Chains A and B, each alone.
Chain A
Amino acid sequence: MSFSKLARETTHSFSKLARETTQRFVDNDLTPMGHGRMLRKEDPRFIRGKGRFIDDLQLPGMLHLAILRAPIAHGRIVSVDVSAAEAHPKVKLVVTGAMLAERGLAWMPTLSNDMQAVLATDKVRFQGQEVAFVVAEDRYAARDALELIDVEYEQLPAVVNVRAALDPSSPVIRDDLEGKTDNHCFDWETGDKAATDAVFARADVVVRQDMVYPRVHPAPLETCGAVADYDAVDGTLTLWSTTQAPHAHRTLYAVVAGLPEHNIRVISPDIGGGFGNKVPIYPGYICAIVGSLLTGKPVKWTEDRAENLTSTAFARDYIMHGEIAATRDGKILAIRTNVLADHGAFNGVAAPTKYPAGFFGVFTGSYDIQAAYCTMTAVFTNKAPGGVAYSCSFRITEAVYLVERLVDCLADELKMDPVELRLKNLLRPEQFPYTTKTGWVYDSGNYEPTLREALRIADYAALRREQEDKRARGELMGIGVSFFTEAVGAGPRKDMDILGLGMADGAELRVHPTGTAVLRVSCQTQGQGHETTFAQIVAEEIGIPPADIKVVHGDTDQTPFGLGTYGSRSTAVSGAAAALVARKVRDKARLIASAMLEVSVADLQWDKGYFHVAGDPAKSVTIQDVAMRAHGAGDLPEGIEGGLEAQICYNPENLTNPHGAYICVVDVDPGTAVVTVRRFIAVDDCGVRINPMIIEGQVHGGLTDGVGMALMEILAFDEGGNCLGGSLMDYLIPTALEVPDWETGFTVTPSPHHPIGAKGVGESATVGSPPAVVNAVLDALKPYGLRHVDMPLTPSRLWEAMNGNPQPPI
């Protein structure tokens, strides 16, 4: 018996045994050879408590770090006395901003090329800002010692009201920036002002509406944290951290800490939710690194809930004035908007360099209009930095909210049904690829069938009849519609980079001799199910079952370079890389197969898993046969190297444009103003669907987020700049009891440029659902003559509006 045959048979029986043993507690449907509905490969470990998160990590001799944070929003540091903390018997190290400054480490760059304090040296600029840290033998001692640090502040007036941030009388927050005399962060504009003004001037109807998208927080279940382990002997740093972008972080650490990049290894183990919250580099990570460098021991830092809510990346915080122009019969002509953006104390927005407002430029939505224009002013305030986090697709959440609310306001003005108005204005399939009036190229779309599918599932006509009956009885029922176009998969390197790093992603696929495989990707799952989806993408291309494909991610030493997971970019970018690298492997396999079958390559046919001789299916080899041959004894065809593996780096040609139509049905209690979301219909088109179950899961989560933002979430501040959302008792996120059974549907419009026609879907529902909920509530409140009420539509805020006192939340 030849070695390869022996190997194949023994592995076969081994794998049978292994599968039988795992089968006992794995209820996966192992059937789809490629795309299709299958349970997630990673779930058995999560469900059985075997996930391995940062805080599970225990290293010998590990110390614990705790951070002292500013109790006030704005104040000058007069003195910091750490002597009592240093005297604590379990304390190993106390570090202040001044000590970091001596090493040139007190400041670090943000993802938007601003500078952010690692530990405050001169002033504190938001409540919760990092002031000092303690490294101690255990977490309790570290936390106790924080109370022994004596900081004297000279309190300064806090800039909390974003509308007043640019008043000449406002104190200057960023006096660390040379020559800075105000709180201006940046100005930005897009579109054609003159053309837009001209269209507005001759339009029959112009509707104007102010609206606020309040500051919200991603609030992932797992807070941020890190374990830093610096090995002084070989000069290597291993950093386990909660990051959605391990490679980008490694490069930044190399720049900030001056360590050679090859000596830094960033590992992102299981991540308990990211939603953009884990894209930035936080001072805590740097503190952990410094702590390990100075003590020579591994140092763990884990944020508590209050720290996460008050100091890490928030989202939104846009005050928008929107205007929409139309003809009397409902043809939308132009959209104009002016935005005031609160960026907090440092500009920590994580968006491609050329896009300081993210992709807000897609505020023209899904409509065929003649002109559009936007101006934006961003300001600094005494609040935590951040900006695009929370499944927002780089600010498309705000853009879609703006346009979808404006369209409903217009429908109200024209006394038109909001569905009819949308149908009249949606882009038509023959217009794609479509260049918007703000210069975005939508790769593909076929909108009307998607909206019609949502109407069908909802039975829209019946809902309107029911509403009419209920109104006659004084009951408040509302039906809200939204239609969105997303722009995800950043992005083409000619346009998009983060701090100079191009947004292309690598993938490496290695098929082992026995025909199982390992795929290494640069993106980082935080719950999205990459270990399953990516295995399915490869399976579809090379016919190895998903169960036989291991997906490795989240370790810079184990994976090729790439920019990570956010902005729904994983399937759009890394997913494309995975498909293409699999095709590259298949191309090589074809050459080997042709030698094995002794026919020319042209005479071979590929049949997901097999090459066979055209016209003679019996003469075939499996991909597993080829794998063994590629590694086995005997010569390979001329010019073919041994092994069966490939590597690529995928540079997307464009973003992909998923779209969707959402319909929300609410009941409002007229006596208490409590909103109940009774039904929610979501029809998503994300192109080719890899694993429909995972897509549905992403949609369910996003819809829940959307209901949360529409009805309850806000990160509020009092006049002194104290954050009022520092716990989950104060910052409300929705539970299963606030949401209905989701009704999902789909249409499929493949992306023309993505190798498998897929588009991202991770944020579609978060983007599309808030306006549907708000539109539904306002539809219910038609009898009250209200055109707009700002989120969050808490019972109190809604009741005030119903009683003639609608107030913006900020």
Chain B
Amino acid sequence: MQVPAPFDYERATSVDDAIGLLARLGATARLVAGGHSLLPMMKLRLAHFEYLVDINDLHGELGYVKVEPTRIRIGAMTRHRELLESPELLSSFPIFHDAERVIADPLVRNRGTIGGALCQADPSEDLSAVCTAVDASCVIRGLDGERVVSMAEFYRGPYETAVGNAEMLTEVRFPVRPHGSSAYEKVGRRAGDWPVVSCGVAAWVEGGVITDARVGLAAVGPNTTGIPAISQALRGRAPSEDLYAEAGAIAAAYCAPVTDQRGSAAYKRHLAAELTRRALRRAVARIDGREV
């Protein structure tokens, strides 16, 4: 059994309480949500914090998937499993279901949260690619109130985000537009493994042409970011295998993978292209009702 160094523990009763505790305890305090990223780091003694502020009691306040006419809002404490099992998300943004099926294992999904996943900012984090594809914004709350940042602004580098010391992520929200669908493709070395590369796509098709499409690639750079060049290349054009291949080529050119135990940089670059093609193909097929 791996054991962490000593730390003190507080249990927040509300979002305001959590932020207050963080403000009072300073930089040596960390929020703990599902704990599936934080605790292993502490047990391996790669990270040490003097205080943990447990926000699991905020699941009532921050655990939700709310579908509104023009947007969907997901509370930061919503667990992977709740995303996987949400019928609303399955019908409007199947990308969540696709991705959650292949994130970690049931144990991790039972506890791990979308807030923890995004705030961990692991370069291989799957939900970051999902949120990038659906054009999500992150709601960050601090002592002075809320601010909303785009996914691109949210990430500041590997394991770094825009969330400041006495702040927390409370919500992820993204627009709902008609005539669209989404899909997620991932290659891992084994079930439950982090992606070698994964790719999320959201696309909208009207009158036989793509009106918009967004791609998010995980594990091929310091952070997941959108690839505007792909969106530009796709807009206004009729979906076709050639077009998907073109998008894939842009993805491959755009990404910056490194060789590691999960795979060579060349292979990852290849996957960026291949998975972009596959995810686009599937998202468009879903819009056409050809696939679910």
Which of A's residues lie within 8 Å of B, judged by CB?
Answer: 55, 139-140, 143-144, 147, 302, 304-306, 671-674, 712, 716, 724, 727, 729-730, 732, 734-735, 737-738, 794-796, 799-800, 803
- With a cutoff of 8 Å between Cβ atoms, the chain A residues found around residue B6 in the complex are 140, 144
Task: Name the A residues within 8 Å of B275 (CB-CB).
Answer: 672
Residues of B contacting A729 with CB < 8 Å? 193-194
Contact between B196 and A795 (Cβ–Cβ < 8 Å)?
yes
CB-CB under 8 A from B267, the residues of chain A are 673, 795-796, 799-800
**What 0/1 readout, one digit per residue, does chain B (187-200) give for beta carbons within 8 Å of chain A?**
10111111010000
Is there an interface contact between A734 and B270, defined as CB atoms closer than 8 Å?
no
- The answer to whether A306 touches B44 (Cβ under 8 A) is yes
Cα distance A361–B187 in the bound complex, in angstroms:
40
Whole-angstrom distance from the CB of A727 to the nearest CB of chain B?
8
- Comparing B72-80, B176-184, B256-264, the segment that makes contact with chain A is B256-264
Give the complex CA separation of A738 and B187 in angstroms. 13
Q: Is B30 an interface residue (CB 8 A)?
A: no
Sample of 14 further A-B pairs with CB below 8 A, known A306-B2, A735-B192: A139-B1, A139-B3, A140-B6, A147-B5, A304-B1, A672-B275, A716-B261, A737-B192, A738-B191, A795-B187, A795-B196, A795-B263, A796-B196, A796-B263
**Among the listed B1, B5, B266, B274, which residue makes an inter-chain contact with A671, where contact means beta carbons less than 8 Å apart?**
B274
- Give the distance to chain B from A551, nearest Cβ to Cβ, in Å: 30
Q: Are B190 and A734 in contact (CB under 8 A)?
A: yes
| Closest Cβ–Cβ distance, residue A487 to chain B (whole Å) | 32
Assembly CA distance A362 to B196 (angstroms)? 39
Chain B residues with Cβ below 8 Å from A795 are 187, 189, 196, 263, 267
The winner among B1, B194, B196, B278 for most chain A CB atoms within 10 A is: B1
- B271: min CB distance to chain A, Å: 6
In the A-B complex, the 7 residue pairs with the smallest Cβ-Cβ separation, listed nearest first, are A796-B263, A737-B191, A796-B267, A304-B2, A671-B274, A799-B267, A732-B190
Q: How large is the interface on B (under 10, 10 to 19, 20 to 34, 35 or more residues)?
A: 20 to 34
Instruction: Say how far A75's CB is from chain B's closest CB, in angstroms.
Output: 21
Whether the Cβ atoms of B270 and A799 lie closer than 8 Å is: yes
Contact: A730 with B44, CB < 8 Å? no
A305 cross-chain contacts in B, Cβ below 8 A: 2
CA distance A124 to B45 in the complex (A): 22
Report the nearest A residue to B43, measured CB to CB: A304
Are B191 and A732 in touch, CB under 8 angstroms? no
Residues of A within 8 A of B189 (CB): 712, 732, 794-795
Instruction: Tell which of B5, B44, B190, B270 touches A735, judged by Cβ atoms closer than 8 Å.
Output: B190
Which residues of B lie under 8 Å from residue A306 when comparing CB positions?
2, 44
Tell me the bound Cα distance from A674 to B189 in angstroms.
Answer: 8
20 CB-based A-B contacts, threshold 8 Å? A139-B1, A143-B3, A144-B5, A147-B5, A304-B1, A304-B2, A672-B271, A672-B275, A673-B267, A712-B190, A735-B192, A737-B190, A737-B191, A738-B190, A794-B189, A796-B262, A796-B263, A796-B267, A799-B270, A800-B266
Query: How far, in whole Å, are A712 and B189 apart by their CA atoms in the complex?
Result: 7
CB-based nearest A residue for B266: A800
Q: How far is the CB of A62 from chain B (nearest CB, A)?
A: 15
In angstroms, Cα B192 to Cα A737, docked, is 9
B99 to chain A, nearest CB (A): 17
CA distance A800 to B265 in the complex (A): 11
Which B positions have Cβ atoms within 8 angstroms of A?
A: 1-3, 5-6, 44-45, 187, 189-194, 196, 261-264, 266-268, 270-271, 274-275, 278
Query: A147 to B3, alpha carbons, bound, how many Å?
Result: 13
Q: How far is the CA of A143 from the CA of B2 in the complex (A)?
A: 9
A727 contacts which chain B residues (CB < 8 A)?
44
Q: B264: which of A139, A140, A672, A796 is its contact (CB, 8 Å)? A: A796
Task: Provide the residues of chain B in CB contact with A737, threshold 8 Å.
Answer: 190-192
In the complex with contacts A734-B190, A737-B191, A794-B1 CB distance below 8 A? no
A795 to B261, CA, bound (A): 11
Q: Which residues of A lie under 8 Å from residue B192 when comparing CB positions?
A: 735, 737
* A727 and B262 alpha carbons, distance in the complex (Å): 14
Q: Are A794 and B194 in contact (CB under 8 A)?
A: no
Report the minimum CB–CB distance from A130 to chain B (whole Å). Answer: 17
B264: A residues at CB distance < 8 A: 796, 800
B278 contacts which chain A residues (CB < 8 A)? 671
A732 with B1: CB separation less than 8 A: no
A55 touches B1 (CB 8 A): yes
Whether B261 and A724, one on each chain, are in contact in the complex, defined by CB atoms closer than 8 angstroms, is: yes
- A795 and B267 alpha carbons, distance in the complex (Å): 9
B196 contacts which chain A residues (CB < 8 A)?
A: 795-796
Chain A hits for B193, CB < 8 A: 729, 732
- CA separation between A305 and B40, bound complex, in Å? 12
Minimal Cβ-Cβ distance residue in B for A146: B45
* A716 contacts across to B, CB distance below 8 A: 261
A716 vs B2: C-alpha distance in the bound complex, in angstroms? 22
CA distance A674 to B267 in the complex (A): 12
A735 contacts which chain B residues (CB < 8 A)?
190-192
Which residue of chain B has its CB nearest to the CB of A718?
B261
- CB nearest to A307 among chain B residues: B2
**Chain B, residue nearest A725 (CB):** B261
**B207: min CB distance to chain A, Å:** 30
Chain B residues within an 8 Å CB radius of A139: 1, 3
Tell me, rounded to whole Å, the shortest Cβ–Cβ distance linking A584 to chain B: 46
Give the CA-CA distance A712 to B267 in the complex, in Å. 16
Q: Which residues in A have their C-beta under 8 angstroms from that of B266? A: 800, 803
Cα A710 to Cα B83 with chains together (Å): 34
How far in angstroms is the closest Cβ of chain B from A405? Answer: 22
B90 to chain A, nearest CB (A): 22
Q: Complex Cα distance A139/B275, Å?
A: 46
Residue of A nearest to B270 (CB): A799
Min CB distance B281 to A, Å, is 11
In the assembled complex, the Cα of A55 lies from the Cα of B270 at a distance in Å of 46
B250 CB to closest chain A CB (Å) equals 17
Q: By the criterion CB–CB under 8 Å, are A302 and B271 in contact?
A: no
Across the interface, which residues of B come within 8 angstroms of A147, CB to CB?
Answer: 5, 45
